[in-house]
Structure 1
């Protein structure tokens, strides 16, 4: 089924009014939710909507884990537990999908850009709601914004972000599981530097309006070339 027949064209999320301008205003901040999605697309899946990870269950353009897909409602809570056989590009043929947004398999999820962006919107709003950041404060001199907090928590998860922030955004506060899963990023200091970069990079975009209808065709060139 055509993606636009599955999902409403615009998904609107509520962001604290003090944190960032409305998605309908310009206010010096990019009000197009596509900008936030493009940023995460480049940083997570490298522009590949069917990206997988041989060392985990990370799936699709935004690298959602098996447990995250369950939390978002795509995989039944009664489905099989995670095993290493679900890592990489496994087809997950024995996984029980709920049919949310018309998706009934991992392949269907990865083949539908609009569904993946809809999942990004839900995940982002859930993280921001749980974190409840103070957008009048800063992290190591970097002002906190919804875009920056959303981008950093996409990597850490809401709980991981809260642990990291609880003692001043220091490398020593990073969750042990994050360190173990991302040893290739240069240890504690390397991961901390990356996260601080996400806080800064996300400051210029507004995640409060994400439009799945904008992702129903070719991958945006900017997402393929995130260094431009």
Structure 2
């Protein structure tokens, strides 16, 4: 079963990265019928909803290193499985970015300089937000994301509705934070596109590991304290 958990995490993170980032790279600005910011936000949320229902019963449906670490910090996940989950998530995200690159470069005028849905701050933030603004946004949004995940998956929560609550939370997170960082809250999702863009995307990638992981730990510990778990 343990191997199947890792495969499920790979598939789920692949879908999140491919469909989420793909909506931004391929469909967000498509002439006349582009889906825009709202469409990208919905796409990311829907990836989590669909894969949480598809494989959540196998792996728990993390699809995100910050979620895995945050769940461990909150006493909901064994720390011994963190490395395997993160590796599986990275494999899925990188494979998704690779496939997306192969598809996207088939369009005339495609250029990785456009960002390829990478996350960034300062001159590489969509709204040119500072490093501090980017850190605060990613930390806060990931903390709230973990808070929602803990509540939605608690024994007191409505049975069967957790993926909807979690997916809608991710939609809202993207609606608020896309202008600031292009929205990460997920180190694996950030790593996949950054490896193909290189340069600035790699040099700024550290923030999209540090801030979401710290935020995830904070959210997990806060919920555990508030709900007196463990």
Same fold (TM over 0.5): no
Which has a greater percent of helix?
2
TM-score, normalized by length of structure 1?
0.28
TM-score, normalized by length of structure 2?
0.28
